[in-house]
């Protein structure tokens, strides 16, 4: 007995650890059914269990192409197709989607389409004939699944995807943004590095792209092998092997950001370490300038430890000039080791009304053809499911079902939780049995089209007495229209009586398996969530402390930006174009009229493509 309990506990632990491992590092090789481990020790799995629909394809260009990019999945039907990946609700993830066209269709015509995340518009994907394209963001999962969807936006341009990577991030990381928003990645660089830095050098498999010198920039190599990188955002030690500097203090470093052309709220993190032991006569001190104004107190990198600076609560665009400028007393020019550039998305949606999602799920359980539609039913708005109409509320309601000609057969299930429905069109199917009562009590329903089905029995009084509701039901030979004599065994008196035939008892029996089907996984999910909550709570104190310890490598002092790091808390969203301004760390602007030194440009070359895998 005792041993079997121990065994059970052991099994449970194994199951939980498997679950958490899989949630923290999921690497999906789209269009493939096989698993393999690549040279970075990353384990890739095929995509069968994450997606329904689409077609596997193999690229034509395979020379020098990483294995994961040789297959892809293309979608030729429906407005939108989704991958659904189990995640821990409330945990923070890095999500990366990669697209390599490789002329798979032999048309030499790389398509353009939309990428969506959990009912949010994420990005336009413009694929390339020769290079891979990837999109990445950091966000907090607001459900038990991460849904990544592709939507066609141009005629004859079919969406496809090559790889999806989900990486769990530490709870301390990127703590200066609000879970109501996502941080969209535009750039992550290791200055002076010669190759991409990623897993296993980076525990979180962020990809740090190398940017070498050029244009008067000088590469520095670190004499130290062990560097204290214990700042909140946990950059990889490999990123501090090299740095970029200029020839003299009067020459500043201008940093390319790859930000969009319109102004957006930004979240930029810069990482610095001194590259050698300075003599007593040497000082290196510089400030961050944004469009010619100093936006930080002096930064003094320390040998052996990392200083992290985040810039938030400011908007910027591709033409914003972000530079490192030496202070007047500095004997050495500015340097930088690594940088991450994100912009803050618009507010993330909570998705369609949950009662409506439940009701649609009941229809999908009953009619399997409808299961091909995945992701949020209504959002984002141009990509709603083909057979629903939605209101334009912040939390959208489903206002119409357009299900004519879907080959639906059998009895209608109870989808009365869809109580914002105004229109139901189910004509030209093979629906049988009685018309359910609840259709007459949906408060907003005005149009009900059941023409050309196999419905039988009387029309429920809930419908016949509902003056706002217009029912059309011709083409159902066994249906007793109001006032007509019923030819079936059901007596005509029930037209105005309370009995409405066998529908209700069947409804109950068809509900039971659904409840079981939902409850069992829900219990597992619940256990996992409890474990996660315990973990999160136990590390919660660290999160607070880490914000204060933003400059862990140094003893506070002169290297703080103006203003203390924010304690988080509610933000005051202010729309900036289509993006909300949310960032939390205030920089007091401190104008200093410094002379403008010449500025080498670190904006990446467009042709500077390196393989990611
Ligand atoms: C960018 O700002 C730096 C520092 O203020 C300045 O030296 C440089 O000339 C500016 N570059 C451009 C292109 O405006
Ligand atoms: C359904 O949506 C379409 C397109 O948004 C709109 O033209 C139509 O009027 C809607 N129908 C109803 C019943 O709301
Ligand atoms: C009825 O639906 C079927 C598909 O189930 C379709 O092929 C047919 O054209 C539809 N008929 C009408 C009259 O719309
Ligand atoms: C039901 O309706 C019929 C006419 O359709 C009427 O003669 C009969 O009295 C009604 N019965 C009840 C119980 O209201
Ligand atoms: C962000 O900046 C704006 C304008 O500079 C300021 O009014 C607001 O208080 C700042 N918000 C935070 C959280 O620092």
Q: Is 349 in the pocket of ligand 1 (CB under 6 A)?
A: no
Each residue of 265-312: pLDDT tens digit? Answer: 999 999 999 999 999 999 999 999 999 999 999 999 999 999 999 999
Is the pLDDT at 471 greater than 70? The verdict is yes
Say what the alpha-carbon torsion angle 175, 348, 186, 303 is, to the nearest 10 degrees: 0
CA of 445 to the centre of ligand 3 (A): 24
DSSP state of 248: S
In whole angstroms, give the CA distance from residue 141 to residue 90.
5
Compute the mean pLDDT over every residue in the chain, rounded to the nearest whole number: 79
- What pLDDT was estimated at residue 20? 40
Is the pLDDT at 429 greater than 80? The verdict is yes
Each residue of 28-77: pLDDT tens digit? Answer: 999 999 999 999 999 999 999 999 889 999 999 888 899 999 999 999 98
> Considering only CA atoms, which residue is closest to atom 5 of ligand 1?
292
Is the pLDDT at 123 greater than 60? The verdict is yes
Residues in the chain: 613
DSSP alpha helices (H): ranges in 415-563?
461-464, 503-548
Close Cβ partners of 535 (under 8 Å, ≥ 6 residues apart)? none
The confidence band for 91, taking pLDDT boundaries of 50, 70 and 90, is very high
In whole angstroms, give the CA distance from residue 565 to residue 581.
17
**Of the listed ranges 217-231, 451-465, 521-535, the one predicted with least confidence:** 521-535
In whole angstroms, give the CA distance from residue 32 to residue 50.
12
Is the pLDDT at 500 greater than 90? The verdict is no
Burial class (CB in 10 A: 0-12, 13-18, 19+), 274: buried
Is the pLDDT at 420 greater than 50? The verdict is yes
With H, G, I as helix, E, B as strand and everything else as coil, classify residue 430.
strand
Cis peptide bond upstream of 200, omega within 30: yes
Q: Cβ(341)–Cβ(186) under 8 Å?
A: yes
- Angle between helices 503-548 and 2-24 in degrees, nearest 10: 70
Each residue of 391-405: pLDDT tens digit? Answer: 998 899 999 999 999
> Considering only CA atoms, which residue is closest to atom 5 of ligand 4?
483
In whole angstroms, give the CA distance from residue 300 to residue 335.
10
Q: Is 294 in the pocket of ligand 1 (CB under 6 A)?
A: no
Q: Which atom of ligand 5 is nearest to the CA of 585?
A: 14
Each residue of 528-568: pLDDT tens digit? Answer: 445 444 444 444 333 322 222 244 333 333 332 333 333 22
Q: Is 447 in the pocket of ligand 2 (CB under 6 A)?
A: no
**Of the listed ranges 117-126, 349-358, 487-496, 601-610, the one predicted with least confidence:** 601-610
In whole angstroms, give the CA distance from residue 550 to residue 310.
9
Ligand 5: residue of 572, 576, 582 to mutate (most ligand atoms within 8 A of CB) is: 572
Neighbours of 302 (CB within 10 A): 18
In whole angstroms, give the CA distance from residue 301 to residue 278.
11
With H, G, I as helix, E, B as strand and everything else as coil, classify residue 284.
strand
Q: Cβ(238)–Cβ(197) under 8 Å?
A: yes
The confidence band for 570, taking pLDDT boundaries of 50, 70 and 90, is very low
In whole angstroms, give the CA distance from residue 68 to residue 29.
5
CA of 586 to the centre of ligand 5 (A): 6
With H, G, I as helix, E, B as strand and everything else as coil, classify residue 593.
coil
In whole angstroms, give the CA distance from residue 459 to residue 472.
11
Q: Which ligand gives the minimal distance to the CA of 425?
A: 2
Q: Is 229 in the pocket of ligand 2 (CB under 6 A)?
A: no
Query: What are the structure tokens assigned to 139, written together?
Result: 């966000």
Q: Which atom of ligand 1 is nearest to the CA of 254?
A: 1
Q: Positive or negative, the Cα torsion across 98, 70, 50, 156? A: positive
Is the pLDDT at 428 greater than 90? The verdict is yes
Mean pLDDT, rounded, for 460-479: 92
- Angle between helices 503-548 and 354-366 in degrees, nearest 10: 130
- What pLDDT was estimated at residue 600? 36
Domains for the chain: give ranges and CATH numbers. 17-169 (2.60.120.430), 185-347+559-581 (2.60.120), 368-501 (3.80.10.10)
Q: Positive or negative, the Cα torsion across 365, 371, 376, 377? A: negative
**Residue % of the chain over a pLDDT of 90:** 64
Strand order across the beta sheet in which 430-433 lies: 409-410, 430-433, 454-458, 478-480
- What pLDDT was estimated at residue 9? 52
> Considering only CA atoms, which residue is closest to atom 8 of ligand 5?
586
Burial class (CB in 10 A: 0-12, 13-18, 19+), 301: buried
Strand partners, 590: 294
Mean pLDDT, rounded, for 331-339: 97
CA of 428 to the centre of ligand 3 (A): 6
Close Cβ partners of 185 (under 8 Å, ≥ 6 residues apart)? 135, 136, 137, 138, 340, 341, 342
Q: Cβ(351)–Cβ(357) under 8 Å?
A: yes
- What pLDDT was estimated at residue 172? 84
**Of the listed ranges 105-119, 347-361, 525-539, the one predicted with least confidence:** 525-539
Is the pLDDT at 228 greater than 90? The verdict is yes
Rounded to 5 degrees, what angle do the CA atoms 242, 243, 247 make? 130
Ligand 3: residue of 367, 387, 405, 451 to mutate (most ligand atoms within 8 A of CB) is: 405
Q: Cβ(27)–Cβ(42) under 8 Å?
A: yes
**Of the listed ranges 93-97, 127-131, 234-238, 592-596, the one predicted with least confidence:** 592-596
**Residue % of the chain over a pLDDT of 70:** 74
- What Rg do the C-alpha atoms of the chain give, in angstroms? 29
In whole angstroms, give the CA distance from residue 379 to residue 350.
10
Query: What are the structure tokens assigned to 21, written together?
Result: 């491992």
Strand order across the beta sheet in which 55-58 lies: 55-58, 71-74, 160-161
Mean pLDDT, rounded, for 433-440: 94
The confidence band for 142, taking pLDDT boundaries of 50, 70 and 90, is confident
Q: Is 496 in the pocket of ligand 4 (CB under 6 A)?
A: yes
In whole angstroms, give the CA distance from residue 344 to residue 138.
10
CA of 452 to the centre of ligand 3 (A): 10
């Amino acid at each position: 007995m005792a041993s079997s309990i121990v065994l059970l506990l052991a099994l449970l632990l194994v199951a939980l650890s498997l679950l958490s491992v899989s949630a923290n590092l999921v690497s999906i090789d789209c269009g493939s059914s096989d698993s393999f481990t690549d040279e970075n020790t990353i384990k890739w799995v095929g995509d069968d269990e994450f997606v329904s629909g689409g077609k596997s394809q193999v690229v034509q260009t395979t020379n020098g192409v990483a294995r994961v990019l040789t297959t892809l999945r293309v979608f030729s039907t429906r407005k939108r197709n989704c991958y659904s990946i189990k995640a821990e609700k409330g945990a923070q993830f890095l999500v990366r989607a990669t697209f390599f066209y490789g002329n798979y269709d032999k048309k030499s015509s790389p398509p353009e389409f939309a990428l969506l995340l959990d009912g949010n518009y994420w990005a336009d994907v413009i694929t390339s004939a020769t290079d891979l394209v990837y999109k990445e963001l950091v966000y907090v999962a607001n459900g038990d699944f991460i849904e990544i969807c592709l939507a066609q936006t141009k005629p004859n341009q079919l969406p496809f995807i090559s790889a999806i990577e989900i990486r769990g991030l530490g709870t301390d990381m990127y703590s200066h943004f609000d879970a109501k928003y996502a941080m969209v990645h535009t750039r992550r660089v290791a200055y002076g590095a010669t190759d991409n830095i990623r897993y296993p050098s980076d525990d979180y498999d962020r990809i740090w792209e190398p940017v070498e010198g050029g244009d008067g920039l000088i590469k520095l190599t670190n004499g130290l092998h062990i560097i204290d990188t214990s700042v909140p955002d946990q950059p990889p030690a490999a990123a501090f092997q090299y740095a970029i500097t200029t020839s003299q203090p009067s020459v500043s470093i201008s940093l390319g950001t790859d930000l969009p052309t319109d102004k957006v709220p930004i979240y930029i993190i810069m990482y610095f370490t001194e590259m050698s032991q300075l003599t007593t006569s040497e000082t290196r001190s510089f400030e961050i300038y944004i469009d010619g104004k100093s936006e930080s107190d002096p930064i003094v990198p320390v040998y052996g430890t990392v200083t992290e600076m985040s810039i938030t609560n400011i908007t910027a665009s591709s033409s914003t000039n972000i530079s490192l400028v030496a202070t007047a007393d500095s004997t050495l020019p500015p340097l930088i080791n690594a940088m991450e550039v994100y912009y803050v998305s618009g507010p993330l949606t909570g998705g369609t009304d949950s009662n409506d999602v439940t009701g649609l799920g009941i229809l999908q359980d009953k009619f399997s053809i409808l299961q091909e539609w995945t992701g949020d039913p209504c959002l984002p708005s141009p990509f709603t499911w083909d057979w629903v109409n939605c209101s334009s509320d912040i939390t959208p309601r489903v206002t119409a079902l357009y299900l004519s000609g879907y080959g639906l057969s059998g009895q209608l299930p109870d989808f009365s939780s869809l109580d914002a429905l105004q229109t139901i069109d189910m004509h030209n199917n093979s629906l049988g049995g009685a018309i359910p009562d609840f259709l007459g009590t949906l408060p907003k329903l005005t149009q009900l089209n059941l023409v050309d089905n196999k419905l039988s029995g009387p029309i429920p009084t809930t419908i016949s007495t509902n003056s706002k509701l217009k029912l059309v039901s011709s083409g159902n030979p066994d249906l007793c229209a109001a006032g007509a004599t019923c030819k079936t065994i059901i007596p005509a008196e029930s037209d105005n009586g309370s009995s409405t035939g066998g529908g209700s008892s069947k409804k109950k029996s068809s509900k039971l398996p659904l409840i079981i089907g939902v409850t069992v996984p829900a219990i597992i999910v619940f256990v996992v969530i409890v474990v996660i909550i315990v973990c999160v709570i136990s590390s919660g104190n660290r999160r607070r402390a880490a914000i204060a310890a933003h400059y862990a490598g140094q003893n506070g002092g002169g290297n703080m930006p103006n203003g203390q790091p924010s304690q988080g808390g509610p933000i005051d969203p202010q729309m900036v174009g289509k993006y909300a301004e949310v960032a939390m760390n205030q920089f007091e602007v401190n104008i200093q009229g410094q002379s403008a030194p010449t500025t080498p440009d670190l904006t990446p070359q467009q042709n500077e493509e390196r393989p990611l895998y």
